Structure 1
Amino acid sequence: MATGSPRPAVLRERVAGLMAGTLTLPLGGCRAALLDPQGPVGAAEKTILLNALAIMLAIVVPTILATLGFAWWFRASNTRARYRPQWVYSGRVELVTWSIPILVILFLGGLTWVGSHDLDPARPLKSTQPAVTVEVVSLDWKWLFIYPDQGVASVNQLVVPAGAPLRLKLTSASVMNTFFVPQLGSMIYTMNGMSGQLYLQADKPGVYAGQSSHFSGDGFSGMQFDVRAVPATDFKTWIDRTKAAGPALDEQAYGALSKQSTDVAPYTYRAVSPGLYEDIVQQHLPPAPGPVAAQPASQVAPVKKAS
């Protein structure tokens, strides 16, 4: 059987498939977490992002069109274009070129001012349901979540009731880190010896990826956790099941937990010593040593001079 170039119909199909795949590449990020919020904070941040984009495009798009228009109008073949090599100043041109950037800055500044107050991390969310308090501790290299009202704790897994506000109190038992659930919004730093506060909410049941977005050592890439938003009845069931099995988190268990470890699978504690979070913040418990920089062994011998 002779071989040759593809038939025209087959070639057209291949070209059409290639073009379709190429055109869909820019849409691959449309389901990115930041553009798929699942809570009021994330939705408000998405609105700010889109509003800021629209304000900036209001100057970017006309500037691009004006550049193309000027290049076309003042082309060499256009005899109607006026050539004025002695032109120096125009008040009307200066008014336009300065007023538009000033308006853009004013709009962006106002958007930032309003958003920074409305989305203050420590500002409680309006809800008919009571807030669920969770104490968050970043360790090397894992996350500890303490439920003080329920008396349980979990590692690398945050289970919350969907539709209820979350009052997160955050600190670090080691180096500075960041707590971030992109679909819920508001990244916030955790720092040793300090306690921050963040309100979030998951509107509906689901599993949302959480992460650390601040490099903190060798095990940083494994500091991932899941936020499991479940119905209120399932949350109560999870609390009851957690209380029925597993170790207790006391000072000795916390000391073992604070040691460096990577890629830790989620697990739970059936009980937590009262005031453990405050002891971590006030450093009544010794802070973790933090990442240790490894010193490479010297493999180079001094060169002996030839006699």
Structure 2
Amino acid sequence: MSYFAAQHRGVADMTMRTPTFSPMRLRAAAAALLAPVLLGGCDLVVMNPSGDVARQQAHLILWSTGLMLLIIIPVMVLTVLFAWKYRHGNEDAEYAPDWDHSTGLELIIWSAPLMIIIALGALTWISTHSLDPYRPLARIEPGKMLAKNAKPLEIQVVSLDWKWLFIYPEQGIATVNELVLPMNRQVRFRITSSSVMNTFYVPAMAGMIYSMPGMETRLHAVLNKPGRFDGFSANYSGAGFSDMHFTVDSMDDAGFAKWASEARAAQKRLDLPTYVQLEKPSEKVPAIRYASVAPELFDRIVGMCTKPGETCMQATMMQDGSKDPRRASGHGTPVNNGGHMRGSEAKGALLKEPEEKGSSPHRNAPRGAAPGSSEPGSQANRSMTSIDPLPAIFAGRAAARS
């Protein structure tokens, strides 16, 4: 057999062994390739929420994306079109080396983005005010306005290390890592933190909002569908951050009343000593229910005065801002200058009298006019750092080393 005949036979054998793909195999291969994409988006809770506030925010995302695509898609299409039309091999394309201006093209290039920016600005301005988390809701769901005399359910939220505390003042109960809401009722969240900053976030209900120590933030929201949803912190706060989750249950009024009754039958009570122990860092804390709550506990947490002997920040600010002439002139006895101060026991510089502070040399003290004002060519102008003469003891050591 000749060499060329052998090669021809080998090619024929390879052709005979080439597999054929049936439509069923093609569908299976396509499904395998698309499976990660489909499974990765199986729970698009942000775009398919269960609360009216989150739904309006999802619509805002879609409208903003659509407006931006009005300019992005044409630019991408025209880029490919121009590259194909004016390619090197297309001799039929018009060649105009002296062309430099087109009024019509300039109008399109500048007017279209300008109109889109105006539309985005108007949309952002309106939604920023209508979806302000501090603003009470105007409606419960599309087409169902909220009655003016409808009382919202108040829930006080405290982010701890690393768990969430929910206080229900109206029901007189509290829970840890368990949030239960009545369906189709406005909820007003008062949010704070016991230590570091966190973020309260229930994607199915509303956008995220920060919780900060010594401060109170607010959020108005509603859930319109029954079910169990996820809540978590979206701001890193330390070692136990990854397990700082809580469940959110939405139920009808009868179910919520039954749950509150069961919580009031719990054995634990959330008094101040219990809260001080709860405040200590802990991870993977299961749900806890408290049948009663210490009076004004949330206000004491905001005021950072939950421990015995601590003075609340509200009292400090009230006395500091009083009309007492001695306070107005910076004199008098500060509220937090006692024996039980949060943090350091020493009196801070802001609370000292001028004669108590004294003076000490420092490197940034004024040293007269800079050399550049009188000696423009001086080498001292090249250095922006002030170098003080070394003390005698260090100067002697430096001379000995040299």
With the shorter chain as reference, the TM-score category is 0.7 to 0.9
Note if 1:236 corresponds to 2:247: no
Distance, in Å, in 1 between the alignment partners of 2:247 and 2:55 is: 20
CA distance in 2, matches of 1:162, 1:74: 61
After superposing the two structures, state which structure 1 stretch, 278-287 or 64-73, moved more.
278-287
Q: Does 1:55 align with 2:67?
A: yes
Q: Which residue of 2 aligns with 1:257?
A: 278
1 or 2 for the larger relative contact order (CA 8 Å, sep ≥6)?
A: 1
Partner of 1:190: 211
Equivalent residue number for residue 17 of structure 1: 28
Q: Distance in 2 between matches of 1:12 and 1:202?
A: 46
| Distance in 1 between residues matched to 2:153 and 2:295, nearest whole Å | 17
Map 1:262-301 onto structure 2 (within 5 A).
262-285=283-306
User: Does 2:274 match 1:246?
Assistant: no
* Cα gap change, 1:100 to 1:25, in 2 (>3 Å): farther
Distance 1:84 1:257 in 2: 77
Q: Cα distance, 1:133 vs. partner?
A: 0.6
Compare 101-110 and 250-259 and name the one that shifted more.
Answer: 101-110
Q: 1:105 to 1:30 in 2, by over 3 A?
A: farther
- Matching residue of 1:293: none
Is 1:222 aligned with 2:225?
Answer: no
Within the alignment, does 1:100 sit opposite 2:100 as a pair?
no
**Residue aligning to 2:90:** 78
Larger mean Cα displacement after TM superposition, 114-123 or 277-286: 277-286
State the shift of 1:61 in Å.
Answer: 0.9
% identical aligned pairs: 39
Change beyond 3 A, Cα 1:171–1:17: same
Equivalent position to 1:212, from 233, 248, 272: 233
In structure 1, what is the equivalent of residue 221 of structure 2? 200
Shift of 1:74: 1.0
2:163 matches 1:142: yes
Query: Residue 89 of structure 2: SS of its match in structure 1?
Result: coil
Q: Deviations over 1:228-271 (max 9, x none)?
A: 01111111111111111221101100000000001111111010
Deviation at 1:79, TM superposition (A): 2.7
2:52 to 23, 40, 48: 40
Q: Distance in 1 between matches of 2:110 and 2:231?
A: 43
Instruction: Give the whole-Å Cα distance in 1 for the aligned partners of 2:91 and 2:251.
Output: 71
Give, in whole Å, the separation in 2 of the partners of 1:176 and 1:267. 23
In the aligned structure 1, how far is the partner of 2:38 from the partner of 2:31?
A: 11
Aligned-pair CA distance for 1:104: 1.7
Separation in structure 1 between the aligned mates of residue 36 and residue 111 of structure 2, nearest angstrom? 37
Greater alpha carbon shift after TM alignment, 136-145 vs 64-73: 64-73
Amino acid at match of 2:174: A
1:6 deviates by 10
Aligned-residue CA RMSD in angstroms? 2.1
Cα distance in 1 for residues equivalent to 2:37 and 2:185: 35
Tell me: CA distance 1:6–1:124, structure 2 relative to 1, closer, same or farther (3 Å).
farther
Alpha-carbon shift at residue 89 of structure 1 (Å): 2.9
Q: Answer yes or no: is 1:88 the counterpart of 2:88.
A: no
Alpha-carbon spacing, 1:89–1:226, altered in 2? closer, same or farther (3 Å):
same
Count of matched residue positions in the alignment of Structure 1 and Structure 2: 284
Return the structure number with greater strand share: 1
Alpha-carbon distance, 1:142 to partner: 0.3
Structure 1 position 25, deviation (Å): 4.0
Tell me: CA distance 1:143–1:6, structure 2 relative to 1, closer, same or farther (3 Å). Answer: farther
Counterpart position of 1:111: 123
Does the C-alpha gap of structure 1 residues 24 and 63 become closer, same or farther in structure 2, counting only changes over 3 Å? farther
What is the CA–CA distance in structure 2 between the aligned matches of 1:118 and 1:80, rounded to whole Å?
56
Distance 1:246 1:32 in 2: 39
1:85, CA displacement in angstroms?
A: 2.5
Give the TM-score, by structure 1 length.
0.87
- Residue 300 of structure 1 corresponds to which residue in structure 2? none
Superposition deviation, residue 8 in structure 1: 4.5
Separation of aligned partners in 1, 2:58 and 2:290:
36
Alignment of 1:136-175 (within 5 A): 136-175=157-196
The 1-side partners of 2:86 and 2:267 are apart by: 78
Stretches of structure 2 lacking an aligned partner (at least 5 in a row): 1-16, 140-145, 311-341, 344-402
